Structures are given as structure tokens and as C-alpha cells.
């Protein structure tokens, strides 16, 4: 009897492993992008309570991933985990900084982003809300009911158009259930958080939209400013051209990634410009797409000057030794040492492009 149980358990583990491998191998780039981009599956975040939700990386904390856990449930929360990078600054794995709880975010879904004032915004499903976590808070500081603003229930994601893009600063809200897109504005409420005003009529998109990011023009196969949308229902990431207000242009959608299980959150790596997304179910994984040539920042530019030079080297040397997690730790191993100097020197000079 004991031997039979062991055999069944072993078979179960083997089948589960094969299923996981199949899911990972099913991921593929869309036909327009296959020759320029590659998929790197980082796997599940160690210690993250599933399902996985939205994710984001701050430019001033490039080796820290913020990600939702226990998504869509009352125990939903935002967690922080370290990231490790190679000599080119590309994310290769979860780093030495162990996962830690950052703030509660009940019902967190695919939307997670830092907005004005470094307020952390998240979308909630199925209660159709946007929550705001002010700097220093460990729980939502403000929650806005989106149904009262005319937004179809329930939301899947939201983001603010980044600086440098058409429509910069505008709030975009995506309804998962209705596959619709809305434009709105954020207005400071005087309490360190924001009201949502001026919601536009809905724009139809597709696929049960979740996470959303903006891609600069000039990256391979992106002739114009574009938008990537994680589509939970279709198991894909879709690419749209963006118009002058930062909204998707109807009829321009192309498959960017296919064969996904539960495409969920979306983020841009501020160091390399690479695209990250999470999966809700489907192994609750974090996946990186490499191949972008236009980066928001560059490896080693520690003072944000646009050039890697002696000032950045001085910052690195002043952080020498064990640092836990700090910007000068360029490879994410929690130590500032010769390996980080090598990365900085390899990026010496003006940041590209």
C-alpha cells in the first residue's frame, strides 16, 4: 500500500513537471517579432502567495520587483523581491534579496504602477476599484469605486502614460470583463492621493485586458509609439499603435506573445527597456521578453545624468561592500564589489541611444 502511494505521488510530480514544461515551451513570439525578440521565463517568485498579480520596477530601485500576490482575493497584497542581472544589465533571475511584504492590496489584479507623488496604484477585481497606497503606508490610503465613474466592471488594469510619450500623464483604465479602454485624468486631492476625473467614452479592445505598458518608437518592429496589453482570455500579449492621446489605434493590433496561461501584469525594466509580464495561474510565473534597443535608463547611470562617468563611479565606490539592496549593486547580488565596477565600466560614456 505504501509503495503504491509512493508510485502515484511520483507519477503526479512527473506529470506536473511535464505540464509546467509544456506551458513554458508553449510561449512564443508573434510572427512579426520572432526574429528580433526572445522569451526568458524566470519561473515563479519564491514565497509569493499565488495567484500572481500586477508587477512593476521603479527606476530608482532597479533590482527590486514589486508584485501582487493572492491576487483577486481579500488577502491580496504587494510584495518586494530582489532581481539579479548579467553584465549587460539584463534580468536573469530573482536576486539575493528575499521576498518581503510591502503593503496590503485587497483584490489586487493586473494593474500595479507608481503614479505621481510616488503613490502606488493598483486595480481591484471583481470589486471594480483602483486603490492608492501613499508613500510610507502599508495599506490602501484611498480606494475609488470605478463603477460610479461609468467604467464597466470589473477593471483588469490601469497605468499612467509615461513621460516622453504622447498623452504623458493621462490615466488609462482597462476593463477586463468588457474588454474596453478608458482615458481619464488624475487630480491631486490635497491629501497626498488623487481623484479620477474626466473619464472618456469606452474604446473597444479585445482579449480580457490586464497589464499594459508603452513601447518607444524605434524598437525593432515598432515604427511608432506603441502599447502592449496582456490578454488573459486569449493567453496572448497584443501590440497596438498609440495615437496622439496615448490610446490604442483600432485595427493595428498584432500578436506580440502567444501561448500563455493567464497573461496578467505587465511592466518595463527601467534599465534595459525589456518587457516583463506575470501569469495568473499558468505557474504564476514572471517572464521577460528581451530584444528592445531603446532603454529608459542605462546600466551604471546612478545619478540619472544620461552619462556613465566618474560621478557614477564615485557613487558606486561610496557604497562598497554589503549593501542588502542598493542602486550601486548593479548585478543584484547584495554586494557592491568588482563585478559591479566591471558592469559600470562596460557602460562608460553617454547612454544609448
* 197 and 316 both lie in a single domain: no
Distance CA 299, CA 225 (A): 23
Distance CA 113, CA 132 (A): 10
Question: CATH number of the domain that 339 lies in?
Answer: 1.10.1330.10
**Is 20 within a domain?**
no
pLDDT score at 9: 36
pLDDT score at 6: 34
| Residue-wise pLDDT tens digits, 267-315 | 999 999 999 999 998 899 999 999 999 887 778 888 888 899 999 999 9
What sign results for the dihedral spanned by CA atoms 215, 220, 222, 225? positive
Query: If you search the block for the grid coordinates 520587483, which residue do you land on?
Result: 65
26 membership: H or E segment, kind and range: helix 2-26
* 343 and 278 both lie in a single domain: no
* 223 and 104 both lie in a single domain: yes
In the chain, count H helices and then E strands: 3, 27
For 253, 316, 323, the CA distances from 269, given in Å and listed in that order, are: 23, 21, 22
**Is 10 within a domain?**
no
**Is 162 within a domain?**
yes
Q: Which of 264, 290, 316 lies at the terminal end of a domain, its last residue?
A: 290
Distance CA 81, CA 32 (A): 33
Distance CA 318, CA 338 (A): 13
For residue 77, the enclosing domain spans 29-290
189, burial (CB in 10 Å: exposed 0-12, middle 13-18, buried 19+): exposed
**Is 241 within a domain?**
yes
pLDDT score at 2: 31
Closest CA to 285 of 40, 95, 38: 40
Helix axes 310-318, 338-346, angle to 10 degrees: 170
Distance CA 168, CA 148 (A): 25
Q: Compute the C-alpha angle 301/94/276, nearest 5°.
A: 70
- Ranges of the chain with pLDDT below 70: 1-25, 352-353
pLDDT score at 23: 38
Check if the beta carbon of residue 23 is closer than 8 Å to that of residue 283.
Answer: yes
Give the distance between the most distant pair of CA atoms in the chain.
69
Question: CATH number of the domain that 238 lies in?
Answer: 2.115.10
Distance CA 51, CA 213 (A): 21
| Residue-wise pLDDT tens digits, 50-98 | 999 999 999 888 999 999 999 999 999 999 999 999 888 899 999 888 8
* 319 and 235 both lie in a single domain: no
**Is 273 within a domain?**
yes
DSSP class of 315: H
Distance CA 304, CA 279 (A): 32
pLDDT score at 88: 85
DSSP class of 49: P
Give the count of domains, the chain: 2
280, burial (CB in 10 Å: exposed 0-12, middle 13-18, buried 19+): buried
pTM of the model: 0.87
pLDDT score at 1: 28
156 membership: H or E segment, kind and range: strand 155-160
Distance CA 69, CA 56 (A): 13
Amino acid at each position: 500500500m505504501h509503495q503504491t502511494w509512493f508510485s502515484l505521488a511520483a507519477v503526479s510530480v512527473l506529470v506536473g513537471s511535464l505540464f509546467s514544461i509544456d506551458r513554458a515551451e508553449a510561449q512564443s513570439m508573434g510572427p512579426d517579432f520572432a526574429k528580433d525578440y526572445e522569451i526568458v521565463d524566470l519561473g515563479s517568485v519564491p514565497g509569493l502567495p499565488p495567484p500572481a498579480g500586477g508587477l512593476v520596477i521603479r527606476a530608482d530601485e532597479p533590482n527590486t520587483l514589486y508584485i501582487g500576490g493572492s491576487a483577486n482575493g481579500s488577502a491580496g497584497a504587494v510584495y518586494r523581491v530582489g532581481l539579479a542581472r548579467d553584465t549587460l544589465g539584463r534580468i536573469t533571475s530573482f536576486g539575493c534579496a528575499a521576498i518581503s511584504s510591502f503593503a496590503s492590496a485587497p483584490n489586487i489584479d493586473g494593474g500595479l504602477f507608481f503614479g505621481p507623488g510616488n503613490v502606488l496604484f493598483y486595480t481591484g477585481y471583481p470589486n471594480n476599484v483602483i486603490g492608492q497606497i501613499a508613500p510610507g503606508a502599508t495599506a490602501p490610503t484611498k480606494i475609488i469605486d470605478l463603477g460610479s465613474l461609468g467604467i464597466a466592471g470589473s477593471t483588469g488594469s490601469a497605468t499612467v502614460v509615461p513621460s516622453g510619450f504622447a498623452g504623458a500623464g493621462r490615466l488609462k483604465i482597462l476593463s477586463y470583463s468588457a474588454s474596453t479602454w478608458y482615458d481619464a485624468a488624475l487630480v491631486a486631492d490635497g491629501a497626498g492621493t488623487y481623484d479620477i476625473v474626466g473619464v472618456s467614452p469606452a474604446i473597444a479592445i479585445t482579449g480580457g485586458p490586464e497589464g499594459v505598458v508603452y513601447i518607444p518608437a524605434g524598437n525593432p518592429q515598432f515604427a511608432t509609439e506603441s502599447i502592449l496589453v496582456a490578454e488573459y482570455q486569449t493567453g496572448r500579449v497584443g501590440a497596438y499603435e498609440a495615437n496622439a492621446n496615448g490610446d490604442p489605434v483600432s485595427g493595428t493590433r498584432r500578436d506580440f506573445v502567444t501561448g500563455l496561461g493567464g497573461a496578467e501584469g505587465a511592466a518595463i525594466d527601467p534599465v534595459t527597456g525589456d518587457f516583463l509580464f506575470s501569469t495568473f495561474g499558468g505557474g504564476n510565473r514572471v517572464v521577460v521578453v528581451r530584444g528592445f534597443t531603446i532603454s529608459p535608463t542605462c546600466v551604471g547611470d546612478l545619478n540619472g545624468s544620461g552619462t556613465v562617468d566618474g560621478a557614477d563611479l564615485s557613487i558606486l565606490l561610496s557604497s562598497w561592500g554589503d549593501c542588502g539592496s542598493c542602486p550601486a549593486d548593479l548585478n543584484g547580488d547584495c554586494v557592491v564589489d568588482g563585478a559591479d565596477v566591471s558592469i559600470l565600466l562596460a557602460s562608460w560614456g553617454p547612454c544609448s541611444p
